[in-house]
């Protein structure tokens, strides 16, 4: 296949992966993903921006079959789904050098065994003239590894952003077609990958705000020809202010916890609060992560297994703790058989969440009228906190 031109002198040479269903043995990929790479040809130099996942190297090889010379390969990010093709590229093009950020240089040697002599570190803001096309390297750290950078093609206003602004979706069309459908995919991706670095995302958005960006070409998912939309979405997602939403991660064994969850949902809805409940026995953790992006309150509702929280719900707590959402409040519901350390263990599992803990409600066996009244009081407390915070 010939490189697919997206602009004069700029072509797509990446690979959709329609069949992949899991990333990092953790993240569900309901729509597959893609590993994008781009060929930029100036009068004097030809550059490849990002390589691909090793499993899809054959696609890149095919695209490059009639490309006799590549002078430089920009590695915006060391993770193997973008750098896995580098060892092959350096063999295929013995004169080529890899360009990467300063912190990436040792990482490329560590992760891929690249010869350091074939890697040149570029400085933040450094420009490279290819002959009629100029690349500018912009360090955008922690989106989502410490070494990540973006590459800006000045004449065409293209930002090659790698994971930043990406989405796990496989499709044959190269461009975003309809912002609405890509935003859900992009939000899911942001939630899973970028959310723990929300504050640094804000800084990186500030850093690129004065660039004349006319196109964002990420290394997962389609290319944005309306960059303002995805940049505005990132502003909202990374902003400190949550929405008037509650996420409930719950499970039930004999129905007692379910009764409390149903009561809480009803109480919150009555008070004008949006609720996203996830039964962790079958929930898609990507969907859970996505709703955590905006939630003001997280409620964990679990029966005890022996004396600890049900493991499916406990996993959700561990995930939320790792993703560090912007939520301001949390609470715990549950039911136990004979004894329980539910509250103590859930609290201990979420040290990264900077939340005010609203009074937990834990019932012995079936929730009694007093327990259900306490659930109603919790709904009232959550709604009041949301109001006080100006969320509605
Ligand atoms: Fe798509 Fe962080 O790799």
For 186-242, write each residue's pLDDT tens digit. 999 999 999 999 999 999 999 999 999 999 999 999 999 999 999 999 999 999 999
Model pLDDT, residue 178: 74
Ligand 1 touching residue 118 (CB < 6 A): no
- Ligand 1: distance of its center to the CA of 35 in Å? 9
**188 Cα to the center of ligand 1, angstroms:** 14
% of the chain surpassing 70 pLDDT: 99
How far, in Å, is the centroid of ligand 1 from the Cα of 292?
21
Classify 248 as helix, strand or coil. Answer: strand
Q: What's the confidence (pLDDT) of residue 363?
A: 97
**CA distance from start to end of the chain:** 53
Q: Is 77 in the pocket of ligand 1 (CB under 6 A)?
A: yes
Helices (H), the chain: 57-63, 80-83, 86-92, 104-112, 179-189, 198-208, 227-238, 256-270, 285-292, 311-323, 342-348, 369-388
Beta carbons within 8 Å of 236's beta carbon, 6+ residues apart: none
- From residue 148, give the alpha-carbon distance in Å to each of 56, 108, 139, 279, 360: 22, 12, 7, 35, 41
Give me the mean pLDDT over the 164-185 stretch: 90
Q: What is the pTM of this model?
A: 0.96
Query: Which residue, by CA, sits nearest to atom 3 of ligand 1?
Result: 79
Q: Looking at residue 310, what DSSP letter applies?
A: P
Asked whether the beta carbons of 300 and 348 are under 8 A apart, the reply is no
Relative to the CA of 219, which ligand 1 atom is closest?
1
Q: What is the pLDDT of residues 267-299, one digit of tens each?
A: 999 999 999 999 999 999 999 999 999 999 999
**Which atom of ligand 1 is least distant from the CA of 35?**
1
Whole-angstrom CA distances from 253 to 36, 230, 259, 260, 310 are: 44, 41, 11, 13, 9
Ligand 1 pocket check for 81: Cβ under 6 Å = yes
Nearest to 284 by CA among 316, 254, 260: 316
Ligand 1 centroid – CA 387 distance (Å): 38
User: Of all protein residues, whose CA lies closest to atom 2 belonging to ligand 1?
Assistant: 79
15 CA distance to ligand 1 middle (Å): 14
Q: Which numbered atom of ligand 1 lies nearest the CA of 193? A: 2
């Amino acid at each position: 296949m010939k490189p697919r031109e997206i602009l004069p002198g700029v072509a797509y040479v990446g690979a959709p992966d329609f069949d992949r269903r899991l990333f990092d043995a953790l993240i569900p990929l309901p729509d597959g993903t893609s590993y994008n790479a781009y060929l930029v040809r100036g009068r004097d130099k030809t550059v490849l921006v990002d390589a691909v996942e090793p499993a899809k190297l054959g696609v890149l090889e095919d695209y490059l079959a009639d490309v006799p010379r590549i002078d430089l390969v920009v590695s915006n990010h060391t993770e193997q789904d973008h750098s896995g093709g580098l060892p092959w590229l350096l063999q295929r093009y013995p004169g080529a050098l890899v360009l990467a950020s300063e912190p990436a240089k040792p990482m490329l040697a560590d992760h891929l065994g690249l010869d350091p002599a074939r890697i040149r570190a570029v400085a933040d803001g450094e420009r490279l003239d290819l002959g009629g096309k100029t690349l500018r390297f912009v360090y955008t750290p922690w989106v989502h590894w410490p070494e990540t950078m973006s590459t800006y093609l000045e004449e065409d206003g293209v930002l090659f952003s790698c994971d930043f602004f990406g989405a796990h979706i496989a499709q044959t069309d190269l461009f975003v077609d309809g912002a609405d459908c890509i935003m859900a995919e992009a939000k899911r991706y942001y939630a899973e990958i970028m959310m723990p670095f929300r504050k640094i995302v804000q800084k990186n958005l500030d850093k690129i705000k004065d660039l004349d960006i006319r196109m964002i070409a990420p290394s997962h998912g389609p290319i944005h020809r309306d960059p303002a939309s995805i940049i505005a979405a990132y502003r909202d997602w990374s902003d400190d202010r949550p929405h008037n939403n509650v996420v409930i991660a719950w499970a039930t064994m004999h129905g007692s916890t379910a009764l409390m969850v149903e009561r809480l949902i009803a109480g919150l809805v009555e008070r004008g609060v949006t609720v996203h409940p996830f039964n962790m026995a079958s929930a898609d953790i990507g969907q859970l992560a996505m709703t955590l992006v905006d939630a003001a309150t997280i409620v964990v509702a679990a029966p005890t297994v022996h004396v600890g929280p049900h493991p499916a719900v406990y996993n959700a707590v561990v995930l939320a703790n790792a993703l560090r959402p912007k939520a301001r409040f949390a609470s715990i519901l549950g039911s136990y058989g004979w004894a329980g350390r539910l509250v103590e263990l859930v609290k201990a599992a979420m040290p990264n969440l900077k939340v005010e803990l609203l009074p937990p409600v834990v019932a012995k066996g079936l929730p009694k009228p007093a327990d259900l009244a306490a659930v109603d009081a919790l709904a009232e407390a959550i709604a009041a906190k949301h109001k006080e915070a100006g969320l509605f």
